[in-house]
A and B are shown apart, each in its own frame.
Chain A
Amino acid sequence: MSKVIVVTSGKGGVGKTTSSAAIAAGLAMRGHKTVVIDFDVGLRNLDMIMGCERRVVFDFINVIQGDAKLKQALIKDRRLENLYVLPTSQTRDKDALTTEGVKAVLDELREEFDYIVCDSPAGIERGAHLAMYYADEAVVVTNPEVSSVRDSDRVLGLLNSKTFLAEKGDGSAVKAQLLLTRFDQNRSANGEMMSVQDVLEILAIPLLGIIPESTSVLKASNEGTPVSLDEKSPAGKAYMDAVGRLVGEQIEMRVNPGEQRRGFFQRLLGRTA
């Protein structure tokens, strides 16, 4: 059965698009047929992060409005067999998204794909609302910083009340998990940055992964490559671990996958994992 996963955060600039691209690529690498959809109408960026910006002909809005077939708008990734991108419109605004239109597109995609990753815009308005509305699961991207954590808490409230599953009223809920991004182990150990445990204690949702602050993220975006394809990068490895957990595998939580372990910190994390 296919799954719709929304990547959301409330606050902007925390890494939603980077994470959407990395997770979608990771799922495809694992053999799952995956599509990633850009819901940020008017501020299209997923296409750049995925490196397919010059191949956009039709978009999500064209499909919703019946101006193009879904197959015409889907862009097949050149690196990964199972990966597709559905870009959004750069010229329209979020009012072009309709509940019925989004539902129709998602229903059609569900027939063909294992995973449908919805890259939410920042904020809590129409675009963000519709990105999460039909989700089965949510990846809440959060930086260890007060405004990001506060906004994530707000978004969790919306996931629990303003989604199709929540509105069904039969006890169904969107399964939300935390993806802590831009985490700096040293600064956290020095008390300059909240720890993984601190954020988990506040938001009280399961931890999907910890993505360390890493120079490879900017490099990947410069090149239009999902960072999870960079096997040497600590961030890329951390995303692949998170993807493994997303599909239900038990993978030990590591702050910097592939780096030397630090006793003190690992003990802290051992408890939360």
Chain B
Amino acid sequence: MFGFSFRQRKPSSAQTAKERLQILLAHERTSNSGPDFLPLLQRDILEVVRRHMDVDGDAVDIKLERSDDLSSLEINIEMPGLRKTA
């Protein structure tokens, strides 16, 4: 806080350390087990999708983006069936 008001141009390395920790720990505290659930989620989604259409193993792509105040889970499902008919 002090470093900020006095030297606005460049935050001190201590300030950087603090901010990095705050962001990281906010995530680590909420998702206790970390992103370990992603492969499981991917498997489950694929299983559900397969009940309705014929897709192959790598048709589901899951990404977790983490930033300061927003985390987003991006799920992409490639649907080959539709492409063929189009």
Interface residues, chain A, with chain B CB atoms under 8 Å away: 144-146, 149-150, 153-154, 157, 188, 190-195, 198, 201-202, 268
User: Interface of chain A, helix or strand or loop or mixed?
Assistant: helix
Query: Does B28 lie within 8 Å of A149, measured CB to CB?
Result: no
Indicate if the CB atoms of A194 and B28 lie closer than 8 Å: no
- A191 B29 Cβ-Cβ under 8 A: no
Q: For A201, list chain B residues within 8 Å (CB).
A: 18
B29 touches A193 (CB 8 A): no
- Least distance between A175 CB and chain B CB atoms (Å): 20
Query: Which has the most chain B C-beta neighbours within 10 Å: A188, A191, A192, A201?
Result: A191
Residues of B that sit less than 8 Å from A by CB: 2-3, 7, 12-15, 17-18, 20-22, 24-25, 28-29, 32
B66 to chain A, nearest CB (A): 15
Known A-B contacts A153-B28, A153-B29, A154-B28; the reply to A192 vs B12 at CB < 8 A is yes
Which DSSP category, helix, strand, loop or mixed, fits chain B's interface?
helix
Contacts A154-B28, A157-B29, A191-B3 given; indicate if A202 touches B14 (C-beta within 8 A). no
Query: Roughly how many angstroms separate A116 CA and B25 CA in the complex, as a whole number?
Result: 31
Residue of A nearest to B13 (CB): A192
Contact B25 A153 (CB under 8 A): yes
**Residue B18 contacts which of A154, A157, A192, A198 (CB distance < 8 angstroms)?**
A198
Judge whether B28 and A193 touch: CB under 8 Å.
no
Bound complex: CA A210 to CA B30 (Å): 29
Min CB distance, B12 to chain A, in Å? 3
**Which 3 pairs of residues, A with B, have the shortest CB-CB distance?**
A191-B12, A198-B18, A194-B14
* CB within 8 Å for A202 and B18 given contacts A153-B28, A153-B29: yes
